[in-house]
Structure 1
Amino acid sequence: MIKKILESRFLAALQYRDYRVLWTGNMSASAAAWALIVARGWIVWEMSGSSLFVGLVTFLAMIPRVVIPPFTGYLADKYDRPKVMASIYALNLTHTLILAGLMAFNQMEMWHLMILAFVNGSARSAQMPVGQALVPNLVPKEKLLNAIALNQATMHGSRLLGPLTILPLLASTRIEWAFLTCSFFYLISLIQALRIKTSSTGSMDSKKGFFSNFTQGVPYVYKHPLLKLIVMMAFFHCGFTMSFEAVLPVLSVERFNATSGGDFSLMMMSIGGGALISLIWLSGVTNETTKGKLFLNLGVISGLAPILLAFSPNIYFAIGSAALMGASQAGYMTLTHTMIQLATDDSVRGRVGAVYSVHIGGIMASMNLANGAMSDLSFLRLDLIVGSRVLLPADTMLTIGGILFIACVFISWFILSLRKIYRTGIPQTTLSQT
């Protein structure tokens, strides 16, 4: 029975033992990461009462994705990828234990949260290119979309699992136990990384020096006829539609009158639930034309969903809008990741993944900081219909971001190579030729 389930087109990649081990480890690490984002964001809001500080701490957690991935991408191509992953999980385990200790002994200060957010962000940004480079070595090429979709499901779907796990702890203000829960998740990930048997490394050009090998991912991306366009669309998508963590706490308090982190956690859970449903369905899509059309349509919906959240009249509508955000954003990014992996030679996967992480990590860090800062500005509070509808500054930022990305998708239709993907799908036989 279990064998038949695993052989289904939705779970095909889980037939492979090392992929299953990686998948469960990633799920646990992602649950820890999203639980941490909620718990840390709520603590910052309670300590400061300012979206600017929430945005600043989120910025510090994300900005390492600009500087760390090139180093770990290089390490992922030079050393054994599972061992690099295990080292990263060990660092995050230590970090969450320190957080729990500071909270338990009432020693937490804002500067602690800022420094530890940077440490956590560094470890998370190191994990991404390593994991992305490892997946294609664990499954056959024809199962790659399924493997990436399931892998993305662990990251986005864990927005449901992680916040759900700590929801009772936030309600009871036992935040140290939320951080200990994150530690437990990271411990599972560490054990799973150590259980991977497949040896996976890239390769270095012996004719080139350290610096040339180190930076090889940059020219590879920007000289590729499609890869550079795919990366830039992901850059705008993440900046305009996925940089919302800094505004959710203020929305839950000022729009829906939340008195604890419960509503914030519910919205994050809804984003995760929507993502999980979308990715399970996407993992069974095999037709290339369908993939191309989905890439276009999910891009448009990704722009519309934050606008719906901004105009939500109550928490129930907001939860539905958040689920739509999760479904569309996760689906769009999964198709993006699949195209990048198909386009990239295994010898440089780690470094290309690093270039990709720098782009999306840098813009998400910057836009979270900007959104958090702008959400405190009163002139962005718009009275659309006098006395009946007021947009909070956070609502305004969500709306502007959504409109801008819809404009990006519209413009992309006039780029021949992207329009061809939208119409006929991903050209698997030619995409990797540079």
Structure 2
Amino acid sequence: MHSTRQLPITLRILTGTQFGVFCLGNGLSLVGTWMQRIACGWLVWEWTQSSFWLGVLAAGDLLPVMLIGPFAGVAADRWDRLRQNVRAQAVSALLAVLMAVLLAIGHLGLVEVILLTTLQGTISAAIQPARLAMIRQMVGREDLGAAVALNSVTVNLARLIGPALAGMMMVGLDIIWVFVANAFLTTIYVVILGRLSLAPPQKSAASQPFLRQMTDGFAYVIATPALWLILTVMLLGGTIVRSMIELMPAIAVRTYPGNAMGLALLTGSAAFGAIISGLTIGRRAPVRLLYDVMLLWGLGAIAAVLLTRTTTPVLAAAAAMLLGAATTRGLISTQTFVQVTTPPHLHGRVLSLHGLIARGSPALGALIIGFFADRIGIGAATLGAVVVLAICFILLAPLVRGAAGSVAEAD
């Protein structure tokens, strides 16, 4: 036990807790998810040549969290989180099989892709609070920041590998095999989840009505200025900056016309930047995280403008890398702040609001920016959105300073 504690924190978490096994299974499943996401985006772009329809696809994948998220947060605090994940991932694997079958028999079109993607997104929204809250059951409070960063690295490593594999498969094989691969990898994740045995979480009072528990979570966030401010900053950053990832097919064709590998390269570059960002993050006091997030989303906004205005492949890849690094560090910092400052019995509910914003804001932004991109061009639409972000940050800055003072006193 003593020798385990002498290991670097990353190795200690990965080898000394069940979090390492969880990361392996989650990473494999996410590789498949990103492979399928790239394939669906490419199909929709080929069928429509429209940024707006890419936004609709992103909305189908990400917006269900707006309706499901608050209920899922109560479920994560009330019922077995591991069992919820096992069942949801099994259904997700079956949906990937269904998409492969429909594509094979020629019955997968624009409507079917959007509907099935929406169903997949609904399942992801339903289990996200339980999945994030499980991290607290696998590591101690002092290791939460490192665990959140490692989880983000897993997500972004999958975002690097998945698109690259999907791009190669779409060039050399029938696109149907992308959906088959996702089903296979998700099935492996189900098996791994079934072998985990987690410490019981601190439960909220089971006697409280379901809706009362839900409103308690909202009330806690509203009554905590630092929490609602950092979540508001993430809402703005996700809508204007993170949404660029969802519009990547429309961005890629400007630099790599008609080439699916170009889409994989830009998406992979963003993921590479995200991995480097996650691996290099250190421990930060909660008060510092409040300031960090505004700077990080600002850097991401600069990268988004450069990405949508250049047609030089090297510059586009560099901008995508900076975009991935800045947005990932912003998301890690926000989730770490939420995990560390929220009482354990409210974890699922507060994390459901975090997940609602993290998944919903990029979809909302992709719809809005995609709508304007079809009319004035994606470069002009992005620049306009970034100007709005800058104005909002200037208005929020005094409130953030005030909230930071209260966090510093409580820390």
Change (3 A) 1:415 1:196: same
Correspondence for 1:387: none
Question: Distance between the aligned counterparts of 1:34 and 1:402, measured in 2?
Answer: 27
What per-residue deviation string (whole Å, max 9, x for no partner) do you get for residues 156-180 of structure 1?
2321011112221121351111111
When the two structures are aligned, how many residues end up with a matched partner?
Answer: 409
- Name 1:385's counterpart in structure 2: none
Partner Cα separation in structure 2 for residue 237 and residue 83 of structure 1:
33
What is residue 276 of structure 2 aligned with on the other side?
Answer: 277
**Is contact 1:82-1:199 (8 Å) kept?**
no
Q: What is aligned with 1:398?
A: 382
- State the match for 1:37 in structure 2: 37
Is the 1:153–1:279 Cα contact (8 Å) retained in structure 2? yes
Residue 263 of structure 1: CA displacement?
A: 0.9
> Is 1:430 matched up with 2:410?
yes
Tell me the secondary structure at the aligned position of residue 106 of structure 1: coil
Question: Which residue number in structure 2 is paired with residue 315 of structure 1?
Answer: 313
* TM value normalised by structure 2: 0.92
Farther off after superposition, 311-320 or 200-209: 200-209
> How far apart are residue 202 of structure 1 and its match?
4.6
In structure 2, the CA distance between the partners of 1:313 and 1:6, relative to structure 1 (3 Å rule), is: farther
- Name the counterpart of 1:340: 338
Match of 1:408 among 379, 385, 392: 392
Residue type of the partner of 1:234? Answer: M
Q: Is the 1:80–1:199 contact (alpha carbons within 8 Å) kept by the matching residues of 2?
A: no
- Bigger mean CA deviation after superposition, 363-372 or 288-297: 288-297
Alignment partners' CA distance in 2, 1:6 and 1:369: 49
How many percent of aligned residue pairs carry the same amino acid?
Answer: 23
Give the Cα separation in 1 of the matches to 2:111 and 2:191.
Answer: 31
Task: Give the CA deviation at 1:404.
Answer: 2.9
SS of alignment partner, residue 335 of structure 2: helix
TM-score by length of 1: 0.87
List runs of 5+ in structure 2 lacking aligned partners: none
**What are the Cα deviations for residues 43-85 of structure 1, in whole angstroms up to 9, with x where unaligned?**
1111222222222121111111111122222221111111111
TM-fit CA distance, 1:269: 0.7
TM-aligned CA distance change 1:212 to 1:293, over 3 Å: closer
Does the 8 Å contact 2:138/2:199 carry over to 1? Answer: no
The alignment's C-alpha RMSD in Å is 2.4
| CA 309–131 in structure 1, closer or farther in 2 if over 3 Å, else same | same
Question: Would you say the 8 A contact 2:149–2:332 is kept in 1?
Answer: yes
Q: Contact (CA 8 Å) 2:289, 2:337: kept in 1 or not? A: no
List aligned pairs for 1:224-373, cutoff 5 A: 224-253=224-253, 255-282=254-281, 284-285=282-283, 294-373=292-371
Q: Distance in 1 between matches of 2:12 and 2:75?
A: 29
Q: Secondary structure at the match of 1:239?
A: helix
**Is the contact between residue 277 and residue 325 of structure 2 (CA under 8 Å) also seen in structure 1?**
yes
CA contact (8 A) 2:233 2:294 kept: no
How many Å apart are 1:127 and its aligned residue?
A: 2.8
1:329-358 residue CA offsets vs partner (Å, 9 max, x unmatched) = 000110100001112111121111112222
Q: 1:290/1:232 Cα in 2 relative to 1: closer, same or farther (>3 Å)?
A: closer
Cα distance in 2 between the residues matched to 1:322 and 1:371: 17
- Range with bigger deviation, 159-168 or 330-339: 159-168
Q: Aligned partner of 1:404: which letter? A: V
Contact 1:235 1:359 (8 Å CA) reproduced: yes
Indicate the residue corresponding to 1:156 in structure 2.
156
In the other structure, the counterpart of 2:123 is: 123
Q: Deviations over 1:241-295 (max 9, x none)?
A: 1112443222222x2252232111111111111000000001x445778756643
**Which amino acid letter does the alignment assign opposite residue 257 of structure 2?**
A
Q: Match for residue 388 of structure 1?
A: none
Kept after mapping to 1: 8 A contact 2:61/2:120: yes
Change (3 A) 1:47 1:299: closer
State the Cα deviation string for residues 290-320 of structure 1 (Å, max 9, x = none): 7566434323212211011122231221111
Q: Which range moves more in the overlay, 91-100 or 311-320?
A: 311-320
Q: Determine if contact 1:51/1:246 at 8 Å carries over to the other structure.
A: no
The amino acid of 1:80's aligned partner reads D
Give the structure 2 partner of residue 386 of structure 1: none
SS in 1 for 2:398: coil
- Code of the aligned partner of 2:346: V
Amino acid at match of 1:396: A
Give the superposition deviation at 1:215. 3.0
Match of 1:73 in 2: 73
SS at match of 1:215: helix
After the TM superposition, which residues 92-131 of structure 1 pair with which residues of structure 2 at under 5 Å, given as runs?
92-131=92-131
Asked if structure 1 preserves the Cα contact closer than 8 Å seen for 2:130 and 2:348, the reply is yes
Mapped partners of 2:158, 2:403: distance in 1:
33
2 CA distance for matches of 1:9 and 1:372?
42
The 8 Å contact of residues 76 and 130 in structure 1, kept in 2 or not, is answered as: yes
The alignment status of 1:62 with 2:77, answered yes or no, reads: no
Report the Cα distance in structure 2 between the residues aligned to 1:225 and 1:290, rounded to whole angstroms: 15
